[in-house]
Structure 1
């Protein structure tokens, strides 16, 4: 019974907080709330450089940004790496390349999310390798590395006239980031690294919302364990980001087996931590566009059920990253160079 009382007490606080949040972020009007329908397109520059041609539903060659916008996409997510190599699929995404993409996104009227991996290449649950230039640094120096690098990228965006609406500190960090110092085996140090990133972001762009991001968004225990530790250790952030890939779950089950767990987790996180929530990565198999379409419709619906407009939106990871170019099986693009039906899910109001 005491658990139920605590839950509903927290829920009442959330509702009250949501009205206050709306007055700050949405000018007091629910009609001003804009649900983010996003695409992470870190591969786009390299696809264009190798001559890949994007085509609209009619088969006409078009700028990828136009095709995305015509399908309801209003947000672009961009990863940034410290000193990447030139591999088409596992390199690039340097500061200058990220800024250039952010400028393009702004010109197309898109909102921008920046994803700091704090690595020279992919950072995810399986690997959180620190940048080569930071190897051998003691912990105080590593804290300065995080602050200075984050500030530098944010300042470059500011000078280019781009204000990211959201900025991620780390990418899919259930075990922490910048190993070994930032492992969850040492939460006090991880929290300090997070806070250095947070402080650098806010120093340049006070209104950008800072996201902390974990994978397996249907796994409530995974999230509450991590964010309870984040709270205990004083980690600073504004938004909880979730990945949701049914294809990667055990046995590759259909999304219908985990979608309710995702929805319940979103609501629980918003209530438990008094934070906004957002699915910052999602994807489905390109050869099953009808199923992926239905999954995306369901995911958006679950995010929209979070009370008080605390569910901010949904971002598809590399929808344009056609398998014929990337070998990645979870894009929303076909071998004919056109988007699949899956992308139509973002056109639903």
Structure 2
């Protein structure tokens, strides 16, 4: 009997050690619209129809991380504004109190930055390039310092949002790679100055498009851009293909990028049509599996973009929330 207890004890100890050594895998969501939605009177319910804090609902669905975008001098429009430093700190505090990790997404704009637009903040429009570099450093440092003073250290920071064509146009476009590299490195240096443990992400869209990623990150390597993680968006909807037609390309791209550039990889944005619950569930399962297949645990996680953005409020069809205030069953994919 004594030997039996010893064997059981050793088994339990081994199991605990295995758990302790298992790398953290981020299952998360960008919820940057949430403050505006709550201010608009939107209430959220869990799968049983009980009113509850949206972040808590996401946690109960298996999510452990939250992504928050930051604008420089945002307006108050309900869908294109907010996301100030103060609002970001408040949201990060809410998430941290629930034990969730934080990803900060710097747009370096007063509103949306994406492949179609990378507009300078109004206050930076007339800056000479050296001063523009300083502005990137100072803004990054100030936001992260504000978070630090509130007791928050993000696990990850994005320097730019979906930047296949560069950022802070025209100065930082990919037509001027030398200047883009300087801007990216200023963001990296500011991040590491606040806390060297924060991992820096560089983010490009169309995660299944291997040629786009190779072209961008070959240039980043040539121009000595400093970063820790390659961030990818993956939206089959926007390229008018079902996920089943592109998921193998995504999986191959993740593995190839990690090996070629010796970097971790992460899906920082994914989404499917709210009206196609089963298809979106399968898309999420397949995406999570693709990231987990990256060798040596270098696939770090998956973030859904604005799952709580109910379409009647946001007019965004790739959310994952039903009009009755409850989460789409598609989000059950994050439970595993």
TM-score tier, shorter chain, comes to over 0.9
- What's 2:4 paired with? none
Structure-1 separation of matches of 2:218 and 2:311: 38
2:215 aligns to what SS in structure 1?
helix
Equivalent of 1:106 in 65, 81, 96: 96
Equivalent of 2:166 in 176, 185, 189: 176
**1:129 matched to 2:119:** yes
Per-residue deviation at 1:324?
Answer: 1.3
- What's 2:3 paired with? none
**1:288 matched to 2:276:** yes
**1:304 matched to 2:304:** no
Per-residue deviation at 1:29?
Answer: 7.8
- C-alpha RMSD of the superposition: 1.1
Structure-1 separation of matches of 2:189 and 2:56: 35
Equivalent of 2:231 in 227, 241, 264: 241
- What's 1:119 paired with? 109
- What's 1:200 paired with? 190
1:113 aligns to what SS in structure 2?
strand
Structure-2 separation of matches of 1:205 and 1:110: 19
**1:276 matched to 2:264:** yes
- What's 2:47 paired with? 57
Structure-2 separation of matches of 1:317 and 1:286: 12
Per-residue deviation at 1:194?
Answer: 0.3
Structure-2 separation of matches of 1:144 and 1:87: 28
1:258 aligns to what SS in structure 2?
helix
2:148 aligns to what SS in structure 1?
helix
1:96-115 per-position Cα deviation (integer Å, ceiling 9, x unaligned): 10011011110010000000
Structure-2 separation of matches of 1:107 and 1:299: 28
Structure-1 separation of matches of 2:162 and 2:79: 19
Structure-2 separation of matches of 1:345 and 1:294: 8
- After the TM superposition, which residues 1-349 of structure 1 pair with which residues of structure 2 at under 5 Å, given as runs? 31-249=21-239, 252-348=240-336
1:300-339 per-position Cα deviation (integer Å, ceiling 9, x unaligned): 0000000000000000000000101101000110111100
1:77 aligns to what SS in structure 2?
strand
1:297 aligns to what SS in structure 2?
helix
Structure-2 separation of matches of 1:158 and 1:319: 27
Per-residue deviation at 1:218?
Answer: 0.1
Which of structures 1 and 2 has the bigger CA Rg?
A: 2
What residue ranges of structure 2 are gaps of 5+ in the alignment? 1-16
Structure-2 separation of matches of 1:244 and 1:237: 20
1:49-105 per-position Cα deviation (integer Å, ceiling 9, x unaligned): 010010111111110011000000100000000000000110000011001101111
Per-residue deviation at 1:31?
Answer: 3.4
Structure-1 separation of matches of 2:137 and 2:61: 37
1:34 aligns to what SS in structure 2?
coil
Structure-2 separation of matches of 1:342 and 1:114: 25
Structure-2 separation of matches of 1:275 and 1:141: 30
In 2 relative to 1, CA 213–70 (structure 1 residues): closer, same or farther, beyond 3 Å?
Answer: same
Per-residue deviation at 1:28?
Answer: 10
2:218 aligns to what SS in structure 1?
helix
Structure-1 separation of matches of 2:83 and 2:290: 31
Per-residue deviation at 1:30?
Answer: 7.5
